[in-house]
Structure 1
Amino acid sequence: MHPQLVAIVDEFERAQERLHRLADRTDDDAWAARPHADAWSAAECVAHLNLTSRAYVPLVRGALAERRASSETAPARYRRDPVGWLISTMSGPMPRIARRRFGRVRTAAAFVPDGDLPRATLLADFDALQAEQIALVRHADGAPLQRIRVTSPFDARVRYNLYACLVTLPAHQHRHLEQAEEAVAAALP
């Protein structure tokens, strides 16, 4: 498998391990606690990631189906297009200056979690979706990912290449897992 795709799989696996470490050391109260009224709990962060994965799995699967129609092969090095670079940068963990975080983005309504799902359900869904995303990255090996375009499910006006999309997904997971860790830390005495 292409080394850049191996790196993406590694990031997905690190995110999954990170989530399970957090879930294993967190009681139910801290798991469901919001640090303040306009922040998500750890449970809501995971629910958001599951909503996002459910939107992207068919999108990536469909984009890879286009691959079969192309005889073009993978380049020696994948590159994100400018829009994809911006999206992947904005979707990853938020930078900090002193104690202030920068880069908050309002989430589209379809991706705002609602309701309280049991932790076991959230984790099982996350794991199943993670396995699908990892399989899709492996399936992408050899594809001209720079040439395949996807439309963001967050905003239909935004299009970027599939390589940038694949880079963005685990970065986005790490962003919200950091947020989940902070929510749990705020809930602990």
Structure 2
Amino acid sequence: MNAAAFLTSLQDATQQLRATAQAELEPLELTLLNYKPSPTAWSILECLEHLNRYSRYYNPQLAKALTRPAAPARAQETGYSWLGRKSVAMMRPENTKKQTTFKHMNPSGSRLGREVVSEFLAHQTQLLDLLAQAQQADLNRKAIPVEFFRLLKLRLGEALEFVVVHQQRHLQQALRVKAGLQVALSC
């Protein structure tokens, strides 16, 4: 896919993530946001806090990579390394295989408040800004250290897609918790 179309699809997905969180999750009461369907499952706020923890790492890394001058992205085809293809595929929402997260990225048992939703929405706005900046970047340049093993690097385009699909995956998880909550309340 050419870089312009690739970035447009990521921008559209990010705008949808933000709109969904604002419409479906932000209005909920704190007790509902903290509802856990089971002792080992994440609440809505835990899903969002997990994403916030990743955004706290990846957004600054993306911003740093985008400050480096590069050729315009318009004519490029977005490429993938083996690591990038595997990382994106693992996080796609349609991949139903359960993934385990690293301990420092696992928010289970954290005391969370409404600020988690606000921070998530702020990260989406920041990501949209980064995607706009990426229009002038080389998306195929290896520039983003992988969070759990920083010697490995993702290409800029791979990292942007990884962030977006990871967010889609966990926002869908949060929406499933909300749907289960509605069923639990109606019983």
Q: TM-score range by the shorter chain?
A: 0.7 to 0.9
2:164 counterpart letter in structure 1: P
Instruction: Tell me which residue corresponds to 2:52.
Output: 50
Q: Structure 1: how far apart are the matches of 2:131 and 2:116?
A: 22
Residue number among 30, 34, 38 corresponding to 1:28 in the alignment: 30
Residue in structure 1 matched with residue 167 of structure 2 by the alignment: 173
What TM-score do the two structures reach when normalised by structure 2? 0.86
| Greater Cα shift, 149-158 or 5-14 | 149-158
Offset, 1:89:
1.2
Distance 2:37 2:94 in 1: 17
The answer to whether the Cα contact below 8 Å between 2:11 and 2:128 also exists between their aligned partners in 1 is: yes
What are the superposed Cα offsets for residues 76-123 of structure 1, whole Å, 9 maximum, x if unpaired?
32122221111111112143xxxxxx322111122112523222x122
Residue 184 of structure 2 is aligned to residue 182 of structure 1:
no
Is 1:153 aligned to residue 147 of structure 2? yes
What is the Cα-based RMSD across aligned positions, in Å?
2.0
Percent of aligned pairs sharing the same letter: 25
CA contact (8 A) 1:50 1:129 kept: yes
Specify which of 115, 118, 123 is matched with residue 113 of structure 2.
118
Q: Which segment drifts farther, 148-157 or 45-54?
A: 148-157
Q: What aligned pairs does 1:99-114 form with structure 2 within 5 A after superposition?
A: 102-113=96-107, 114=109
Q: TM-score, normalised by structure 1?
A: 0.85
Question: For residues 101 and 64 of structure 2, what CA distance do their matches in structure 1 show?
Answer: 24
Distance 2:4 2:18 in 1: 21
In structure 2, stretches of 5+ residues that fail to align are none
Shift of 1:150: 1.5
